[in-house]
A and B are shown apart, each in its own frame.
Chain A
Amino acid sequence: MSEWIITERNRVVRHGWIELAGHWAIALSGLLLLLSGLFELPMAARYKITAIPGFGWSGDFIISLYIHYVASVVFIAAAFFHLAYHGLLRDWGLLPRKGDMKASIDVVKSFFGFGEEPPFDKYLPEQRLAYLGTAVIIGVLVLTGLIKTYKNVYAPDLSHALVFWATTLHNLFFVLFILVFVGHIGAILLKPNRPMIRGIFTGAVRLDYAKHRHPLWLAEIEPLTRPPEKMPEADIPAAAAASAPPAEGGAEVAGDPAEGTIETAKVK
């Protein structure tokens, strides 16, 4: 939601602190859900995970359930926050667009040296497709998880058909969630995507990288120039504002860091 260019520092702010907080709330609670969910299967004792120092609790299904619940509160609240916040602000940049499927295939091909990458907007076409897929998976996990929790707390004799399907879908989408998680980590480890890693930790990516790879996005935010004193400081992710080393070049980057001290900003 908060995007602006900090030319003198060779940075483009890609995510505000709300987006960063939302991402990490989902990511960390999701990781905890994966782990505690696995331990709801009778596997920790069988596979001696309980013997690993610090994992003694993994064989206790009630403790695992409690951890699963705690992580669920964060995960579900963050997911619904995301829907309400970005829905109300009509911030739909991550939703797939027409032609994303074909563009995604071209991008994947380019990773293996076949053809050139097309110029990108803020998000890559496969990011938008992955977002929708992940949203569906999270949606099913949340819905079925809520049914299971309601059953646990209030209605152990809920319709068996409902409980069976909720449980089965929860298990299947749990596996899909693991695959999505692995795919997500795999994608950011690909060399062309690596400069984006900084963005999800600090909120900002290198300007030279963005010029090279996300020209459509920069073209969208560049015209909204504002002098530095007008910059909404409250929206700058602390890490991006604090670190901000001088311009740096990257082996995979074609463009040069732009010169100048004027900061441009766009606040939707």
Chain B
Amino acid sequence: MERNLSLNRRSFLKTAGAAAMVGTTGLLEIPKKAWAGEGRLATVIDLTKCNGCTDRERPACVSACKKIKAGHIPEPADPIPLPFPTRKVDDWSKKKEAFNRLTPYNLIFVQKAEADVGGQKKTVFIPRRCMHCDNPACATLCPFAANHKFENGAVVIDQEICFGGAKCKTVCPWEIPQRQSGVGVYLKVLPTLMGNGVMYKCDLCSDLLKENKTPACIEACPQKAMSIGPRKEILAKAEELAKRIGGSLYGKKENDGTSTLYVSPVPFELLDAAVQKGPGQPGLGPVKRRMAGTDAMGKAVLAAPALGIAAGLAGAFAFISKRKDKSGKKEE
């Protein structure tokens, strides 16, 4: 309780300080550390602020992510076992420094979009990483429960359990997870017949969240374009900002909701058309949650025990009743 009070006081002071700064910047000044690791979180990425760190060798968020995740992938087996029958492996270990797309060694990258808005050319930079969906098929459909959504909203792959079958990538509407072959538990089972490495993606710096710290990319952003906080608060602020700038939101409705909200002055259909898309370079188009089509049948599965018991009891009582009728007639 004491801790909460102190956090709230800190939150209040931060918010009050931010409010005093007036302007759009104040809208996203959410007390990051005070709320990290508590309840359902969300992040907002303000594209009016992100400048892609064009003055740097590579964006600060990318550098911070690479730094904190350095060494998280063990050295792949040499040679990497060739999976039967495809004989295709994904090996990024020789291209660790690549930062123009998502790779197992690059869990966030910044897309650039040049869009024509009302005859005016606008350049928008968009940091891209896992959206941490509200009901992520990548996690719920993982056949080994290696990928899981936690209460704080982070969707995390356990690299000790993952077999690298890439099912998560197949069912992700943005194909975010990336595979490194030659690492992981599959090497100890049937390396050529089952699995093909480990899948990697942003885990929202889960370890930092547990320590009540802010994810590295958010902490490192010199423009303070990214914020993390309680979901409701972040959503309200993102909507407020979008309304204020006459912009658009991405991530609120996509895939039936995500924990990542982009606020852009340029409509996302224009950004989607403008960004370079391809493997490891997701688009920004509308996304429906495909698994929603199975929810009704899933509910029927949950009702099946009651259905079976009801039918069983009805059948048994009917049988007993018929038997009684017959024995009654026989006695007559």
Measured CB to CB, the residues of A under 8 A from B are: 1, 18, 40-43, 46-48, 61-62, 65-66, 69-70, 72-73, 75-85, 87-89, 142, 145-146, 149-153, 156-157, 160, 163-164, 166-168, 171, 230, 232, 267-268
Which listed residue (B83, B171, B290) contacts A46, Cβ 8 A? B83
Which listed residue (B85, B148, B151, B304) contacts A163, Cβ 8 A? B148
B301 interface contact, C-beta 8 A: yes
Most buried by A among B165, B297, B307: B297
Q: A76-B304, A84-B313, A149-B301 are in contact. Are A61 and B148 (CB under 8 A)?
A: no
Q: A65-B291, A69-B300 are in contact. Are A81 and B319 (CB under 8 A)?
A: no
Set of chain A residues within 8 Å of B143, measured between Cβ atoms: 40-42, 167, 171
B149 interface contact, C-beta 8 A: yes
**Bound CA span A72–B144, Å:** 20
Q: A160-B150, A163-B145 are in contact. Are A73 and B301 (CB under 8 A)?
A: yes
B54 interface contact, C-beta 8 A: no
Set of chain B residues within 8 Å of A81, measured between Cβ atoms: 308-309, 311-312, 315
Which listed residue (A61, A89, A151) contacts B316, Cβ 8 A? A89
**Shortest Cβ distance from A65 into B: residue:** B294
Chain B interface, number of residues (Cβ within 8 angstroms): 55
**Bound CA span A41–B170, Å:** 12
Set of chain B residues within 8 Å of A43, measured between Cβ atoms: 165
If over half of B's interface residues share one DSSP class (helix, strand or loop), that class is named, otherwise mixed; here it is helix
Set of chain A residues within 8 Å of B56, measured between Cβ atoms: none
Set of chain B residues within 8 Å of A167, measured between Cβ atoms: 142-145
Binds A, one of B4-12, B133-141, B222-230, B277-285: B133-141
State which residues 128-183 of B face A: CB under 8 Å: 134-137, 139-145, 148-151, 153, 161, 165-167, 170-171
Q: How far is the CB of B190 from chain A (nearest CB, A)?
A: 12
Set of chain B residues within 8 Å of A230, measured between Cβ atoms: 330
**Bound CA span A82–B143, Å:** 29
Q: A69-B301, A171-B143 are in contact. List 4 more A-B contacts (CB 8 A).
A: A41-B165, A82-B308, A156-B139, A157-B150
B312 lies within 8 A of A85 (CB): yes
**Bound CA span A249–B10, Å:** 91
Q: How far is the CB of B47 from chain A (nearest CB, A)?
A: 27
B323 interface contact, C-beta 8 A: yes
**Bound CA span A156–B295, Å:** 12
**Bound CA span A29–B297, Å:** 15
A66 lies within 8 A of B148 (CB): no
**Shortest Cβ distance from A83 into B: residue:** B312
Set of chain B residues within 8 Å of A163, measured between Cβ atoms: 145, 148
